[in-house]
Structure 1
């Protein structure tokens, strides 16, 4: 079969729309005609990080569409179903069986390497392999192949352009609050970085009735979105040197109960830990710098916790429907953050999100 896909030819290269061949779905696979796909920071970060030998490649991991074909071994998904495509997990290792599917033993192979587990690719061009299977889907393509563990059936009345970002970005931010922090109403949460992930975290904190929510960002336009979701906005650039941590402590009554870092900026993470109350927790969800500097004495004496979080500690098969129910009920109003682009405007969407003129780009077919 033929499909139109956005291919990246090498590290740091732009997306280029080309025609590819895509395999028929195997017995355990699902073919989805993509109607909308979110553009996520992870797509842009990893296309810069991977070595040249892992290209050409198709990215995209927030796909939403309609099932076109289903392999005979697949249960629970049928032709015509409306679906969201999320990350893959083996569903067989000890972590998966305990519900920790984001920490699956096979995460790297299933989501990042560009191949099926047997080493084959789903995409081809002129007889040569093109890496795909990004998050088990590579949905920057009119057609994408997924599996029962990452294809989530949703209510067909939900706008697929709205549903797509719940596959990763919105699920990560909201899940970090709802699953990982699990806050009490009388607590305080500070979210560092008010992009799509951070704003989803803020909205989830609001849905839980958290008393004090603070948003930190250097772009005032994003802080306006955060304030619309019930947060107090803080722009560090507006504060004198050395006063940022004191300002956070002031707003949170002596220190934050919890924080969520989406920036992956070492200095921001260091300050976020400093701004925690004793026994406070910072959840790190951003992909970026591999090293940070922390005060071990502060951590020990104040019982602070710094922990990572993948995909909001969520199981997408249950979490995505729950979040979409919250959206429908009006308690998680994230649809207002979405700006749609035609699929052939993908590079324009990349430029706009980098410039901060949009929060969450979604490409529509």
Structure 2
């Protein structure tokens, strides 16, 4: 089970592909609007809801919920939003479980319907991390929102995972992180034809700017365009990773700027620095390729792991309240001139490369399914 945006789908595709490659029958359940993203990955998709993620910003009374200013309340708000989204998928998921009996349910960390479906089907539940970890308060908010669904299924609490698959580099795992089957993070994104300039860098430093795969001309475009304008003042070759509709809105661009859908695995090895919104997949992708990062966590849940990565010395976190052009340019210039950021980023990449692959995680899931626990 994934979720309603491309980012969370990208996070679970490698494990789903590995399970299919091992000969297992795999379906990925998600809402109708993201079926093309799933099927393009070579994974059979099952639509379980006609809702989209933005629909969950409206509560069960039909009232749009205001976004809280307080950080703790914001985490609860996020959890309740994901909980409402899970509730909207539940009927479709239960029908699927009745029609096609699973032996195990694997859910991304924010797919809160996954443990409910596993309990309903009486099979093990595997939770897979999709980044370096979200605040646990989000889980509490989701559990509170899903009270009616828990009662409907005869449950008194959110079922716990029988196996946790974690992708966070061990050096960055929180001290209280639960035991886990570790898995090497494999960046995934929808592919397209490779343009020659993607692979060939010039004489100037190459810097990439991104606001993630969810940005659209109507949503978060100001974040991306703002970062492009700020970084574009530097004497660098600038790549802007964005969906084509977004890239078109950014044009015309200066000669030293290229924008479009740039697959991460192609761009990362040629980049000296990446500046982005601190989204989970983007952050983990550049960790795995050993590229120093400037993180501007516009979403509060990204702050914790952004801080951990910064304290390690492989990144710098910039407070969104202080993301002026001067600040961004200064931080980028300092990082490009300081070799230790690249050295620490490469240390992390080596650590990620040494983790067990997805095939080993599949073996652990096979053992769990065979045990029936």
**TM-score of the superposed pair, with normalisation by structure 2:** 0.28
More helix by share: 2
More strand by share: 1
